Amino acid sequence: MVRVFAASDLHLLRDAKAALYGRRPARCWQQVKRHARKRPARLWLLAGDLVHKPHPRLYARVARALHAPALAVAGNHDAPRMLAHAFGRPWRRLGAWAVLGLCSVDARTDPGGRLPWRRLAHAARRRRKAKARHLLILMHHPPVRVGTPWMDAIGLADRAHVRVWLKSLRRVRAVVFGHAHERVDVRRFGMRFFGVPSALVQFRHGEENFALDTLPPGWDELRLLANGRIVRKTHWVRDAA
């Protein structure tokens, strides 16, 4: 068994005392890390929108004091090259598992995402090199509808062909994503899709237009089992809200 943690949509600001959506992103992220520190983990998965406006020092702040390595992908608020420079290669091998990060940011569909074939082909080559029995994919934009109309309109624009690609890999057990600012857990096409709650604030499910929920910041604990199963536990950090 391998334990990994997943967080998304931190939206850190350069001013650590500044607020966004009525909360201080820096304080919320510190509280999430403090809660997670009580458990051992092999890897952090960071599913995008780590910062609200990109700056190199902010990406360093994200990783600071983590008690495990981190694999991060860019969100629509991130600068992909800046993030890649801070976090390094977008894949890891964890025993029987490989974790592969995909950058779904595209200026033509912003704030929605897109995954052109050239990126998918490059990712497929990485998957072949990993030679793992089970594969976990990390991206920012949801590759499935989450049931909130305004968010589904700015999800992954080419979700249909991305799902075809995911199925072609055959060993994909789950896809972890952010962007939706809500906990999502659905089974489709022989795999699971996990929407990671925001480490700052959640959006209200099912709304036609943007609306905030009262839920606190959250993060996921994923136990990756050798047989390909995943046990998920979502933690809500009530003292950070």
Tell the burial category of 16 from Cβ atoms under 10 Å away from its Cβ (0-12, 13-18, 19+). Answer: middle
- The CATH number of the domain holding residue 24 is 3.60.21.10
Q: For residue 126, what pLDDT is reported?
A: 73
88: tokens are 């390094």
Q: Give the residue from 32, 24, 31 showing the smallest Cα distance to 7.
A: 32
Beta bridge partners of 99: 92, 136
Residue 162 pLDDT exceeds 70: yes
Rounded CA-CA distance 45/4 in Å is 7
pTM value surpassing 0.75: yes
Note whether 5 and 45 are within 8 A (CB).
yes
Among 64-73, 126-135, 216-225, name the most confident range. 216-225
Q: Kindly state the average pLDDT of the residues 142-166.
A: 94
Indicate the DSSP class of residue 16.
T
Of residues 119 and 179, more confidently modeled = 179
Residue 152 pLDDT exceeds 70: yes
Q: For residue 189, what pLDDT is reported?
A: 87
Instruction: Give the residue numbers spanning the domain of 221.
Output: 2-240
Domain count, the chain: 1
Sheet holding 70-72, edge to edge: 70-72, 43-46, 2-7, 218-224, 230-236
Mean pLDDT value across the chain: 93
